[in-house]
Structure 1
């Protein structure tokens, strides 16, 4: 009987210890703060790989945090203008927002290099430079002055060079062309003679249809298909020289970010890093099929002539060097990018099969 009593006491003590441990674990879980942000996005969540990345990231965060981190996506124009995410976050009008980095080029010239550098790095290269060659540190220092914490949170494959009413065979056709372009790409089109306008995505179909524009660039072929460009312009030119990658960022107001627990920050940053991989893979998965559909619908899909690309590349160097001479941050970022590209070039050239190498059948 005494032995049974002793065993009973041990079982009771063990159960009590387990109960205390469970209580502590539950207490620690309960200590995870709640985050409820309305997050305006610059592109509609229906746009494949461009607008649906942040919703995916938000879903992952809800799953990881048991619903305690809840980023509530707000469609473009419902809370703030589609192109106004940076200003709204910087001024504290919203806690966070999601956008292509570069619309704020007028206030932060270096932003355009992070969003997309013409004739620059592709998505994987940019990711390598950003995370492992100092890009992130440079960006954080620049945006801290604007009360914004930028988190790399999406990257996609090259855009189309543009949709046109007539096939581009020489730069003579570009002079006076009414063309929609953004960021540094827009400045380069202007340098070679185009009349450039910046118009939000949802308005582009109508602008093409009514003849307000002679051509436009916007995004991936899949996104362009969703916007219907193939119905009003029958020539799609590639490659996306102006945006070899399109990089999107989650902007968080610095005062809001600084108040977060380290565990919360880590989950948001990790989910965004996963979002980069998700968006790259999703973008790459879908473009071949849509180019085939365009051809079936009577669209001519063609590369820009080599002489046109060479002139655009020359204009790119002129524009980038001029901007670097005007803005110290721009120069610092551009120099860093160019150093990495020079170091990486032998591997890029020799480490991969040539792009025109036939696939094994």
Structure 2
């Protein structure tokens, strides 16, 4: 025994040293991540900051993905190209911003009259959506990872009450994604502005109205100071994915463990986003009402007009873009099959 015990102790020390060497042998990652959104903005910004912090913890400091505010590295709407070329290591955004480059990516951001978070995620992870998403980005030398999802948005801030479709005609409005194309069908002139540019444009009259996000975020941006009529539901964004974009060569240079650590944190970010996103809307709505905001819901007639416009838009996009057609067919088929369970399993 006097011989065996020291031997075992030495063996244990050797294993400990070997394990330590295995942990530290991975190349340390020090990346810069440009963001489309300010880090202080609820969810769409704070989830990116949370990603930075949690990846650092989970990796034991081995992976540092530093969050940079909009325009600190590149302008918000140029992040796609910068990540693709390797000009920056990573980006924090939502896929809908890249419609002009890859129209099909819009279907991974939000879909008018589309699925709530649970159904959307089911299609992504168990209906083939993730494969399409990763393939579309890989063509542009980008690794895309869905890394958050937020609850329904409001559908617009207006200076005057909207009593019918005629009140929309001729309005200049900031609008995002596929919903913008629908608004154009009903006579609205739309433009895409980054979050920080919206309030000044609204204040100066460059735009007449705007949509941006959910109540908790819209409250922070102060739109209520200019427009007092706030409309629901957000038919154009019933749920919206956030994403981490990484230069594909940089991603491929990581070890399997490092890749798994980043993906695990993004999965946890989605859990955090769903629970937080639902919790913070009630207090925000109460505050907005106290500030004189009138909450409106669209009439069934107006929602029908928007849905008719969406059906026209999606038909045009399917006919004009092969990738969009493939992704839309996949999502549509999944939703058709899911509908049976949705109607049977959930209280209406």
TM-score, structure 1 normalization: 0.94
User: 1:29: Cα distance to partner?
Assistant: 1.2
- Unaligned 5+ segments in structure 2 are none
User: 1:190: Cα distance to partner?
Assistant: 0.7
Distance in 1 separating the partners of 2:8 and 2:191? 72
Alignment RMSD, CA only? 1.1
- 1:110-129: CA deviations, max 9, x gaps? 01111111111122211110
Structure 1 residues 39-50: aligned runs within 5 Å: 39-50=33-44
**8 Å CA contact 1:237, 1:301 repeated in 2:** yes
> Partner residue of 1:3?
none
**8 Å CA contact 2:147, 2:269 repeated in 1:** yes
Larger Rg: 1
User: 1:338: Cα distance to partner?
Assistant: 0.6
User: 1:275: Cα distance to partner?
Assistant: 0.8
Alignment of 1:296 with 2:296, yes or no, is: no
- Among residues 204, 210, 213, which one is paired with 2:207 in the alignment? 213
Structure 1 residues 241-260: aligned runs within 5 Å: 241-260=235-254
Aligned residues: 348
- 1:21-54: CA deviations, max 9, x gaps? 1111111111233111110111011001111102
**8 Å CA contact 1:170, 1:305 repeated in 2:** no
Distance in 1 separating the partners of 2:95 and 2:251? 19
**8 Å CA contact 2:110, 2:239 repeated in 1:** yes
Distance in 2 separating the partners of 1:329 and 1:118? 18
Deviating beyond 3 angstroms after TM superposition, the runs of 4 or more aligned structure 1 residues are: none
User: 1:210: Cα distance to partner?
Assistant: 2.1
> Partner residue of 1:4?
none
> Partner residue of 2:83?
89
User: 1:225: Cα distance to partner?
Assistant: 0.4
User: 1:108: Cα distance to partner?
Assistant: 0.2
Alignment of 1:105 with 2:99, yes or no, is: yes
Alignment of 1:235 with 2:229, yes or no, is: yes
Alignment of 1:72 with 2:66, yes or no, is: yes
- 1:44-67: CA deviations, max 9, x gaps? 110011111021122111111110
- Among residues 187, 190, 196, which one is paired with 1:193 in the alignment? 187
- Unaligned 5+ segments in structure 1 are 1-6, 355-361
User: 1:196: Cα distance to partner?
Assistant: 0.7
Helix, strand or coil at the partner of 1:44: coil
Alignment of 1:54 with 2:48, yes or no, is: yes
**8 Å CA contact 2:36, 2:194 repeated in 1:** no
- Among residues 208, 219, 231, which one is paired with 1:225 in the alignment? 219
